[in-house]
Amino acid sequence: MTAAVGVRNRDVGLLSVSLDLGAGRRGVDMGPSAIRIAGLGESLEAVGFRVREVGTVTASPPETIDEGETRTRFLDEIADVCANAYNLVSLALGEGMTPLVLGGDHALSAGTVSAVADHLRAGGRGVGLIWVDAHTDMNTPETTPSGNIHGMVLSILTGRGPDPLLAIGSSSPAVAAENVSILGAREIDEAERELVRASGVRVFTMTEIDERGIGSCMDEALSRASAGTAGFHLSFDLDGIDPMEAPGVGTPVPGGLTYREAHLICEKAFRSRNLVSMEVVELNPVLDHGNQTARLAVELIASALGKTIL
C-alpha cells in the first residue's frame, strides 16, 4: 500500500468545531479549548510538525434557535456547522495540510469526513474510515430514541439520513460501507441493531476485542480502510475508551478500551502510512477530572501522528 497524502506531510491543519447540538448533554462544545489547553500545539511541535490554524466553527447556542423536528433536533443549525467544517477541511487539504479536527459532538463528521472523501475522490479513489466509539452511530430519524444527530452520523456518511446532511459534499454515500470499521462498540440501540447488521460496516465489539486482542482487530480494520482507497480518516470518539481512563465524555459507557489499547489503535494508524486525516470528538470538560481526558486526547493525537516510545 502507498500513501500519496497523509502524515508524511509535516504541516497539520488544526481546526475546531464547537458543537454540542447533536448530543443530549451540553458541554462538548468546549472540548476543543480543553484539548488546546492540555498542550496539543507543543506536543505536535515536539513530534516535528508545524501546526497551522485553519479556523473555528461555532454553533449557535440552543437557547437562541429553533430545535425543529424532535427526531432530528437542531438539524438546520447542525447542517450549517457541518457545511462550514466541510469548507475548512477542504481548505486544509487543498493547501497540502493533514487535517486535525477537534470537536465538538460527533455530528460534525457529516462535514469533515465528506470533505476528505471529496478531496480523495477527485484523485480517483475514495476514503476509508476507522470509527472508534462506544456506539455505532447508525440510527436514522425513523429509529432514533433521542433525536440526537450524533447518533445518526455514520448512517449519514454511508448514505441514509436527513437530506440536509446527505447533501453536504459532492456525492452520497461519502464512504463505502466495505471500507468502514467501528472499534470499541458496546452500546447499540435496539432498533439500530438491524440497520448495523444490514449495512456492511464491520463492527468490532468490545467482546471481540477482548477475545482477539486490539492488535488483530485494528489490523483487519486497517486492511478494510485501505482496500482500494487513497487512505483513511480516523474518527476517535473519546467515549470509546473506558470511563476510568476518560471520564470527561458526554455519553460514558463502562467496559471500554484501555489506555494502551487506545494508544495502539493510534500507533498502528500511523505505522500504516495511510492516515490522511483525524478528528477527536465528544470531550466534555464539565465532566472531566482535572483535564485528564483532554490530556489523554493530546497523547493519542501525538501517537497517531508519529510519537513512539523508543
Kindly list the catalytic residues: 106, 133, 135, 137, 150, 237, 239, 282
Q: Alpha-carbon torsion 274, 277, 283, 288, what sign?
A: positive
- Tell me, what DSSP letter sits at residue 59? P
Q: Which amino acid is at 29?
A: D
304 is written with which cell numbers? 497517531
Give the number of other CB atoms < 10 A from CB of residue 269: 27
> For residues 150 and 266, what is the distance between their CA atoms, to the nearest angstrom?
22
Residue 36: count other Cβ atoms within 10 Å of its Cβ: 15
Distance between CA atoms of residues 233 and 162, nearest Å: 23
Q: Do residues 85 and 107 lie in contact, with contact meaning Cβ atoms separated by under 8 Å?
A: no
Distance CA 99, CA 93 (A): 7
State the Cα–Cα distance between residues 233 and 272, nearest whole angstrom.
12
| Type of residue at 167 | A
Closest alpha carbon to 76 in 185, 186, 164, 194: 164
Taking the C-alpha atoms of residue 282 and residue 104, their distance in angstroms, rounded to an integer, is 6
For residues 235 and 130, give the distance between their C-alpha atoms in angstroms, rounded to a whole number.
Answer: 6
Which grid coordinates belong to 243? 470511563
Taking the CB of residue 147, how many other CB atoms lie within 10 A of it? 20
The CA distance from 37 to 298, in Å, is 10
